[in-house]
Each structure stands twice: as structure tokens, then as C-alpha cells.
Amino acid sequence: RGSCASDSSDSVISTGSETDSQVYKVVLLGEHGVGKSSLARVFGGLEDAGHDCDEAGNTYDRSLVVDDEEASILLYDIWEQDNSQWLKEQCMRMGDAYIIVYSVTDKSSFEKASELRIQLRRARQSENIPIILVGNKSDLVRSREVSVDEGRACAVVFDCKFIETSASLHHNVHALFEGIVRQIRLRKDSKEE
Ligand code: GDP
Ligand code: MG
């Protein structure tokens, strides 16, 4: 969207090949009903996230500026597209980063999140893949079953970042995707050293 128009100093900053045009593939994982598609729609700029258009699967393409640098994200909301094992394995392999979502109102979705983390570790053994654990539906205070501390502790065990969001209120959704971009950049930089 032309946000780099005034940036004429990139010959100094960039070392050549793959700087700005990099597209990061981010995959949403999590049990049915936790709010993956809602988060994806907010990210994609389709504002009425409360509207349930339950299509099978979607991919969203968006650029955002994080720490003065543009990043492009391809967000895949395809985990539940069909029930084939093939697709699930594909999902586990294709991502540059993962968002594992549970609902703070659903303990079993929280337990499922741990399972997914383990599966992911198994599929991508030696790789240090950025993961953010997301406790969604933080607006539903009265029906909360998973505390912030439990979520945080889980993220420590699984060596990933943690954030609580509300897709309905758009709370922390932007912060989530900024966080993903920062994680990807961090791990890339440490690899290139
Ligand atoms: P998915 O199966 O993981 O894709 O979940 P959906 O995005 O389809 O959401 C499942 C249901 O939870 C829908 O009725 C959403 O409107 C609702 N939902 C999603 N996110 C939130 C949230 O942050 N707060 C509340 N209160 N409801 C949400
Ligand atoms: Mg969905």
C-alpha cells in the first residue's frame, strides 16, 4: 500500500536479497468454536466478526507495519476445512509461524491446545518455530474456565508467547499479529547470525 514511498535509504539498510517482500505464512490451529475464523476475519479487516459465515476455510493476505518495517502475512484458517489427515499434516508443515487458539470459556479446548503444541513439536522437530498461544473470548468474564495465569504457565512450559484476545471486541487482535511478526523476525535473525 505504498507505505515505503518516502523510504529512500533502503540501499543502506538492506543487504540485498529477501528483505521487504517476504511473505510469512501463519497458520491458525485450535478446536472447533474457539474463534479462529473470527480472529482471522478481524485480521482480514472484515469488521463484523460477530457475523457467522461458516465457510469451510479461508486465507487472508495483509500487510502491516511493525517497528517501522512492513511485513506481509498470509493467514491460513484451514485447519477445519476437511477432516483429512493429509490436510492436518500439511498444516503442520507449511507454517512459518503458528497461532494456537483456545477459548478461555472452554477447558477442553485449552487441553487440546497442549496436544496441538506437542503435535507441532513432533512435526517440526529441530526447527524453532514461532508460536503464540491465544486465549480467546476474554470478554466472556462470567463463563471463564481458564485463568490468565494458567494460560501464561502453559506458554512457559511450551516455550511460546501468550496473549488473551477478544475477537468480538477486537481486543488485542492487532497486538497478536504484531507479536507474530516480531517472533518471526527474532527467530530469523538468530538463525542468520
Ligand atoms: P472457529 O470454529 O474456531 O473458527 O470459531 P468461530 O470463529 O467460528 O467462533 C465460534 C463462535 O464463537 C462464534 O459464534 C463466534 O461469534 C464466537 N466468538 C468468537 N470469538 C469470540 C470472542 O472473542 N468473544 C465472544 N464472546 N464470542 C466469540
Ligand atoms: Mg472456523
Q: How far is the CA of 168 from the centre of ligand 2 (A)?
A: 14
From the centroid of its chain, how far is CA 44? Answer: 13
Residue 80's pLDDT is: 92
End-to-end CA distance of the chain: 31
At 132 the three-state DSSP class reads strand
pLDDT, average across residues 151-174: 96
Contact 103, 166 (CB under 8 A): no
Q: What are phi and psi of 28, to 5 degrees?
A: -90, 130
Cβ atoms within 10 A of the Cβ of 156, count? 11
Question: Binning pLDDT at 50, 70 and 90, where does residue 2 land?
Answer: very low
The closest residue, in CA terms, to atom 22 on ligand 1 is 137
* Segment 86-136, tens digit of pLDDT: 999 999 999 999 999 999 999 999 999 999 999 999 999 888 899 999 999
Which residue is listed with cell 478446536?
Answer: 31
Contact 14, 7 (CB under 8 A): no
More confident residue, 12 or 127: 127
Whether the predicted interface score ipTM is above 0.90: yes
* Segment 138-162, tens digit of pLDDT: 999 999 999 999 999 999 998 999 9
The closest residue, in CA terms, to atom 17 on ligand 1 is 35
Residue 54's pLDDT is: 53
Question: Binning pLDDT at 50, 70 and 90, where does residue 177 land?
Answer: very high
* Segment 20-78, tens digit of pLDDT: 557 999 999 999 999 999 999 999 987 554 555 555 578 999 999 999 999 999 999 99
Residue 7's pLDDT is: 42
pTM of the entire predicted model: 0.86
Q: How far is the CA of 153 from the centre of ligand 2 (A)?
A: 26
Q: How far is the CA of 57 from the centre of ligand 1 (A)?
A: 15
Sequence-ordered list of residues with C-beta below 8 angstroms from that of 32, at least 6 positions apart, any chain? 80
Closest listed residue to residue 136, CA positions, set 96, 97, 109: 109
Beta bridge partners of 63: 72
Strand arrangement of the beta sheet that strand 161-164 belongs to: 58-66, 69-77, 23-30, 97-103, 131-136, 161-164
